Amino acid sequence: MERRLFTEDHDAYREIVREFVVREVAPKLERWDRERLIDRATWESAGKQGLIGLGVPEEYGGGGQPDYRYQVVVMEEFARVGAASLISSFSLQDDIVVPYVKDLGTEEQKRRWLPGMASGQLIGAIAMTEPGAGSDLQGVRTTARRDGGDWVIDGQKTFITSGVNADLVIVVARTDPAAGSRGFSLIVVETGTPGFTRGRKLDKVGLHAQDTAELFFDNVRVPVSNLLGTEGRGFTHLMERLPLERLSIATSALAGAEAVFAGTRRYCFERKAFGRSIGDFQHTRFQLAEMATELDVTRAYHDAAVFALNEGTLSAVDAAKAKWWATETQKRVVDRCVQLHGGYGYMIEYPVARAFVDSRIQTIYGGTTEIMKEIIGRDLARAEAGRP
C-alpha cells in the first residue's frame, strides 16, 4: 500500500545524522533546557556534517541538494531523542530563512549571507508576528521609510524564534501604509545595527532550549541594499513560501508523534499492572490501534505532500491541510500516550512528558489550526462559486 519515501541514499544519510545525534545532541538536551539556549558550537558542528544548509547551492558553500526528503530524515532522527527545540531551530534556518535569501536575494546578498548560514556560523530569523497582530499579517505596524540611501525601521516584534541567537533578521515592515497588502516589504537587519535591540528571552511552556525573543527597532538604519526581494511585494513573498514552512511543521509533528508512540508502545508491553502488561488489556490495545492507524494515514498524506513539494506542485491549500491535520494528530497522540504512562507520564524526566509540553505550540505557530481551516474553506467556497 505504501510508496516508499526514502531511497538508499537517504538511508545512508540517516546513519550520518544518527551518529551526530548520539555525539552532539542527546548528551546536551538537559543542559540546553536549563540554559534555555542551543550553543552555537552545535550549529557549526551541524554545518560541518551537512545537517544544515543542504538546500544552499554549492557555489555558496551549501549541499546543493533541493530534495526535501533529506530534511525529513534530519527531523525524524532528532525526534527520536526528543530534540524538538533543535528541530524547530534548524528547520527555521533551512526551511524558512535560507529559501528567502536563496530565492529573493541579489547576488551580493547571497554571497554575503548564504555561506555563513550553510556553515552554521550565521543564524537567521524572520520577524513577522507583533503584539496584537498574531496570525493577521495585515495588522503589522512596524514601518520602514526611505531616507536617502537607507531604510529607517521602527516597531516591535514578538515570539521570534532564534531571536536571541540570530545574526540576521528578515523584518516584515510596512513601506507604504496607504497601499494595503501591496505596502509590505522584507528588509534584513543584522546584529549590532544601532537601534536594534532584543527584549526578553521569552519563558515558554515548552521548547525550552529554543530561544524565542522580543525584538525592538528604534530608528534602525540599514542600507537600501538590505531590501530582500521587491519593494511592496513582501506579502506576496511570504505567501509564496508558506507551503514549505507549513509542510516543515507537519513533518516535525509527524516525526514527534511517531517517536512518542513508539516509546509508548514499548512501555505498554513492559509495564505490569494486575499481573500482566498493560498492553494486554483490550482498552490499551484499542488505544494503540487507533493511534497506529491515525499515524499511518497521516504518514500517507505527508509523504504525498513531500513528493509534491519536490516536484514543485505543493499548493498552499494542500500544505495547510498537512499542517493542521498533522499537528492536531500529534496533539491527540501525545495526550493519549501521557495517559497510558499513568503518573510517570507527568514526570518531566520521561520523554512523553517533554513531548507533551513541546508539542502544544504546533497547532499555533506557522498559522493556527483555525487559520489553516479558513484557507481550505475559502478555497472550497471559491471552487463552488466557479461551478457552472
Residues with catalytic roles: 245
| C-alpha cell read off for 133 | 497582530
CA distance 212 to 190: 17
Q: 192 exposed, middle or buried (CB, 10 Å; 0-12, 13-18, 19+)?
A: exposed
Buried b (16+ CB within 10 A) or exposed e, 164-173: bbbbbbbbbb
What contacts 10, CB < 8 A, 6 or more positions away?
A: 69, 70, 73
CA distance 359 to 366: 13
CA distance 327 to 315: 18
- For residue 232, report the phi and psi dihedrals to the nearest 5 degrees: 85, -5
DSSP letter string, 158-226: EEEETTTT-SEEEEEEES-TTSGGGGEEEEEEETT-TTEEEEEE---SS-TTS-EEEEEEEEEEEEGGG
- Which ranges of the chain would DSSP assign to H, the alpha helix? 8-20, 29-35, 40-49, 69-80, 84-92, 98-104, 107-119, 234-270, 282-311, 316-341, 351-359, 369-385
* CA geometry: angle 56, 41, 86, nearest 5 deg: 65
What contacts 120, CB < 8 A, 6 or more positions away?
A: 40, 43, 44, 45, 46, 47, 48, 52, 53
Assess contact for 153 and 144: CB atoms under 8 A: yes
